[in-house]
């Protein structure tokens, strides 16, 4: 017969603190007296759904358990026994926390079901209820009440200390040769910051503008480029309650500095990664995908039938725009500089591809669709006259970037002839709050999972070869996203 054990307790600590310990599937040997030693198999992160903890009890028994579910919004985790020397069969347990507002305490509900051999039901029921759950409540209370060095298991190893790493430093504005990999020190995370061990860093054309010295106010020298990366949280500063060491995360941050192995980042710019998105895909996609999201949804208001002109249609942002816009049933017209890129753009849903290495595309746009309703223009200087000619009446010309050179000052009267509108957006204004960032990132992950966005095509470079990645991007030879791996 199926046994059911239900126990609950109130713990005299805030829910974020209790959850910080319990969501780490490998923390139990630090706070539960019955556990002798525990490890996560195959070196997986200890909060990743599917990971297996293998542990021994002080009485010599051995158990393997798998994490089946983890919800940071519901403060809930579910796990099961895979193998055990104790005769518990089909054991599935759930831990759920609720805040107790009176005194900022935590209600902890722990329940399980399992089968026991005939005649041993009572014994095993009591062992789970008292030996594991009630003892666990008491042990965690004791653990949390201990001095801070004992009470912060996940932050103990090297946390709140200065750490060393590598970064790619720019000492002088100029070409890719100015990028140099050097050792560096990272201070402890400040209030509101998380420290991230970075696995993959996204390279964006914006990094090139900064390297050339087009925005010295944003990158004083010596400086470090890079607006986005993905990795694992290894420490958190004061006041951070929503991220924990072991979390796999990505960020895009309006202050450059991502070309590093280790970085402290304000938590407001960070999102947790879904289980099926690895760090390289996240670094390839987050900034560019969020950019495609705001361009299509908010600024371009792309609908079925919208005639959308996308430049560099096989590039990082361009290929995502083509794929997503074609799913929205827009008519996508793209420009590229080679036949090889044209094939890539077509495979991403671009209906009409114009091969125009010399930036002469207006006539072909008019011939294909009678003019554009929305232009996403990352070209800058070289495309001005042709964009004006490719636009239909009431077209919205979005000046996204300046890959061919700085956009010259635009006389507003040039827009009058066709009642054009013009905008000059920056992605960071479209992820100005953590909520907005989370919503846009979620849409990107969902689009990826649903196949609306293709798995990112990634060109990988070592972090120390950042200069090579820049040369490749500037040469107009790259397609898809470039990522630096640490
Ligand atoms: N404002 C924002 O919020 C925002 C956010 C993200 C990106 N952006 C902008 O969006 C554009 C695309 O960015 P990305 O990082 O995805 O880069 P990308 O498109 O992968 O690479 C840039 C592409 O621009 C084209 N290009 C045309 N003339 C060029 C020239 N003289 N030198 C180099 N490239 C030239 C090339 O494609 P072809 O060879 O096919 O012409 C090249 O592959 C950039 O302008 C970037 O600044 C803006």
Q: 32 and 92, same structural domain? A: yes
Q: 399 and 324, same structural domain? A: yes
Per-position pLDDT tens, the chain of length 486:
899 999 999 999 988 889 989 999 999 999 999 999 999 998 888 888 899 999 999 999 999 999 999 888 788 999 999 999 999 999 999 999 999 988 889 999 999 999 999 999 999 999 999 999 999 999 999 999 876 443 343 443 345 688 899 999 999 999 999 999 999 999 999 999 999 999 999 999 999 999 999 999 999 999 999 999 999 998 899 888 888 888 899 999 999 999 999 999 999 999 999 989 999 999 999 999 999 999 999 999 999 999 999 999 999 999 999 999 999 999 999 999 999 999 999 999 999 999 999 999 999 999 999 999 999 999 999 999 999 999 999 999 999 999 999 999 999 999 999 999 999 999 999 999 999 999 999 999 999 999 999 999 999 999 999 999 999 999 999 999 999 999
Q: 412 and 333, same structural domain? A: yes
CA 135 vs. chain centroid, Å, equals 38
Q: Residue 299 domain-assigned?
A: no
Q: Residue 342 domain-assigned?
A: yes
Strand 89-100 and strand 105-115: the pairing is antiparallel
C-beta of 478 in contact with ligand 1 (< 6 A): yes
CA 32 vs. chain centroid, Å, equals 33
Residue 38 pairs in a beta bridge with 55
- Centre of ligand 1 to C-alpha 47, Å, is 37
Cα-based distances in Å from 127 to 75, 109, 115, 132, 188: 25, 17, 13, 7, 43
Return the number of other C-beta atoms located less than 10 Å from residue 415's C-beta.
Answer: 16
Distance CA 469, CA 176 (A): 9
Please, what is the angle between helix 316-327 and helix 339-347, to 10°?
40
Q: Of all atoms in ligand 1, which is nearest to the CA of residue 404?
A: 31
Look at residues 152, 174, 205 and tell me which one is the last residue of a structural domain.
152
Residue 164 near residue 184 (C-beta atoms within 8 A)? yes
What is the domain count for the chain? 3
Rg (CA), the chain: 27
Q: What CATH number does the domain containing 420 carry?
A: 3.40.50.720
Count CA atoms closer than 13 A to 166's CA, side-chain side.
15
| 3-state secondary structure at position 363 | helix
Percent of residues in the chain assigned helix, strand, coil, to nearest 5:
35, 35, 35
Q: 377 and 355, same structural domain? A: yes
Alpha helices in 294-360 (DSSP H): 316-327, 339-347
Distance CA 377, CA 401 (A): 7
Please, what is the angle between helix 279-293 and helix 434-449, to 10°?
110
Look at residues 424, 447, 477 and tell me which one is the last residue of a structural domain.
424
What is the domain extent for residue 333? 304-424
Residue 153: predicted pLDDT: 39
Q: 10 and 148, same structural domain? A: yes
- Centre of ligand 1 to C-alpha 317, Å, is 8
C-beta of 25 in contact with ligand 1 (< 6 A): no
Find the largest Cα–Cα distance for the chain. Answer: 90
Return the number of other C-beta atoms located less than 10 Å from residue 161's C-beta.
Answer: 10
C-beta of 425 in contact with ligand 1 (< 6 A): yes
Residue from 199, 350, 341, 206 nearest 281 by CA: 199
Q: 280 and 309, same structural domain? A: no
What is the dihedral sign for C-alpha 464, 467, 470, 475? Answer: negative
| 3-state secondary structure at position 171 | coil
Q: 457 and 331, same structural domain? A: no
Q: 280 and 169, same structural domain? A: yes
C-beta of 399 in contact with ligand 1 (< 6 A): no
C-beta of 383 in contact with ligand 1 (< 6 A): no
Return the number of other C-beta atoms located less than 10 Å from residue 426's C-beta.
Answer: 12
Alpha helices in 213-276 (DSSP H): none
Distance CA 311, CA 359 (A): 10
Q: 129 and 176, same structural domain? A: no
Q: Residue 352 domain-assigned?
A: yes
Residue 293: its H or E element: helix 279-293
Q: 187 and 136, same structural domain? A: no
């Amino acid at each position: 017969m199926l046994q059911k054990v239900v126990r609950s307790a109130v713990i005299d600590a805030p829910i974020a603190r209790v959850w910080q310990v319990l969501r780490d599937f490998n923390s139990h040997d630090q706070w539960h007296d019955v556990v002798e030693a525990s490890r996560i198999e195959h070196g997986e992160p200890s909060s990743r759904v599917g990971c297996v903890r293998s542990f021994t009890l002080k009485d010599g028994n051995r158990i393997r358990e798998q994490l089946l579910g983890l919800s940071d919004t519901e403060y809930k985790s579910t796990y099961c026994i895979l193998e055990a020397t104790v005769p518990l069969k089909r054991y599935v347990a759930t831990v759920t926390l609720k805040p107790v507002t009176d005194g900022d305490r935590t209600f902890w509900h722990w329940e399980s079901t399992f089968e026991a051999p005939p005649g041993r039901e009572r014994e095993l029921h009591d062992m789970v209820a008292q030996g594991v759950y009630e003892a666990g409540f008491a042990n965690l209370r004791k653990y949390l009440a201990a001095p801070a060095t004992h009470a912060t298991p996940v932050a103990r190893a090297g946390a709140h200390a200065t750490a060393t790493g590598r970064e790619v430093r720019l000492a002088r504005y100029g070409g890719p040769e100015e990028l140099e990999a050097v050792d560096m020190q990272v201070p402890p995370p400040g209030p509101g910051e998380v420290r991230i061990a970075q696995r993959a860093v996204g390279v964006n054309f914006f990094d090139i503008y900064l390297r050339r010295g087009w925005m010295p106010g944003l990158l004083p020298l010596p400086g470090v480029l890079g607006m986005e990366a993905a990795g694992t949280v290894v420490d958190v500063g004061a006041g951070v309650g929503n991220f924990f060491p072991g979390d796999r995360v990505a960020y895009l941050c309006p202050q450059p500095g991502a070309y590093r192995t280790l970085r402290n980042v304000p938590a407001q710019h960070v999102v947790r990664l879904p289980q099926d998105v690895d760090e390289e895909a996240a670094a390839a996609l987050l900034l560019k995908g969020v950019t495609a999201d705001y361009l299509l949804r908010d600024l371009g208001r792309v609908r079925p039938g919208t005639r959308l002109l996308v430049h560099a249609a096989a590039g990082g942002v361009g290929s995502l725009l083509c794929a997503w816009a074609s799913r929205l049933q827009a008519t996508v017209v793209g420009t590229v500089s080679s036949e090889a890129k044209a094939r890539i753009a077509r495979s991403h849903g671009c209906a009409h591809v114009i091969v125009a290495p010399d930036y002469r595309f207006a006539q072909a746009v008019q011939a294909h669709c009678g003019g554009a309703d929305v232009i996403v223009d990352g070209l800058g200087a070289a495309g001005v006259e042709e964009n004006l000619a490719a636009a239909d009446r009431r077209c919205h010309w979005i000046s996204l970037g300046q890959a061919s050179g700085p956009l010259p000052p635009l006389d507003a009267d040039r827009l009058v002839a066709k009642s054009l509108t013009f905008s000059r957006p920056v992605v960071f204004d479209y992820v100005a709050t953590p909520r907005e960032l989370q919503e846009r990132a979620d849409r990107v992950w969902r689009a990826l999972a649903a196949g609306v966005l293709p798995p990112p095509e990634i060109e990988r470079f070592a972090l120390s070869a950042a200069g090579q990645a820049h040369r490749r991007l500037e040469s107009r030879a790259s397609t898809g996203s470039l990522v630096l791996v640490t």
